[in-house]
Structure 1
Amino acid sequence: MKVNRKEMIDSQLIKKGISDPWVLQAMRKVDRALFIPNEMREFAYEDRPLNIGKGQTISQPFMVAYMAQELKLKPKDIILEIGTGCGYHAAILANIVRHVYSIEVIEWLEEYACANLEKAGIKNVTTRCGDGFQGWPDRAPFDAVSLTAAPPTIPEPLKKQIKIGGRLLAPVDTLRQQLKLLERTGDDAFIENRLLMVSFVPMTGEAQK
């Protein structure tokens, strides 16, 4: 049975603990169907990852909403995202915060994300193609950093690009990862919280060295 957008919000998000009004508003506003191939659109509101081609997927709605909620975002925030993918996660963040800077290592995927963001009318996301390990130093510091690809350990350059009081959320490890939330409390001081067990694609490039 097909799931519509309202059912996605009510049964997949609210009933599972998503309560942040900014996150729910963004999830209602951004149409997930715009970020997937036409042949997959009948499944757009199901709570599962979907194949978008060449081995790439769009994350399940609950995980996108959960990650946004855990970052405790505010409307004036500036965010760094590592792993643009199809652009859906960036679009959700962009409907909550002032601006999103997003890095994608796969060239065709970054181009696909840009096209999807344009279709969705999102104007406050800046993307570039490259290795996200070093972050985006000339736009730092950020109020929050969100990784949608899993490094073996959290890259030090990304930790240094969070404002004091800011947060970083990342799936960490290899095959099966722990979602970790870092809060920067001082120049070299961080509080780490371990959240869900998750499964994300590995972060490639320098993170694997």
Structure 2
Amino acid sequence: MIPFPVKGDKPGLQPPEYIVPAARDGKHEILVVKDGVRGIYLDHDRGSESVRVDADIIARSIVEDYVKSQPASDPTAGPGLFWVKEALTKAEVAARYPRKIAAALKLQHNWWTNLVRLADDLWTSNHKMAQIGDLDREACRQLALKRDWLDDAPDSIMKCPVCTTLVSIESIICFACHVVLKGDQLEKYEFFGGGPVQAVNSK
């Protein structure tokens, strides 16, 4: 249900990256997660050993890590993301888990509302456009609201060249797929997060 890609970095695991496709037009998307492999160092003589990591563990961590990392989320509001133990098609998910989908949509609507409310508070206190994030603007668009801080003029936004999510032209990293948009400015700042970032261009 999330209208932009969800990226989960799992350093040390093979594969090390998982991307849930963007859900467009209010429809849901899926990512079928398979068992992974992690290398465990034993000792000098025996070296490393490959250990299988269950798909269920990986899927749960993708969902939980992403949800916990998002601002304005709480038990009643958060990204519309969930996992199930079965490997299903989109149609099968819709048929078997309509309540989960409905609950996820409600959580996400509340999340958009929380994000817009926080952005409103920031705007009221300082009227600084730089304080409003791309995720806040996306929430405002999803709720079809109009705000002074929602600057959607063509010369102020652009599409991420990788995931096509709308971002500010001043963005250094895409909030959705975490791709570096302005590599020449990245070194001016110190970023903390889960996993590496991938450079796309340095314009």
Category of TM-score, reference length = shorter chain: under 0.3
Instruction: Return the TM-score normalized by structure 1.
Output: 0.25
In our comparison, the structure showing a higher alpha carbon Rg is 2
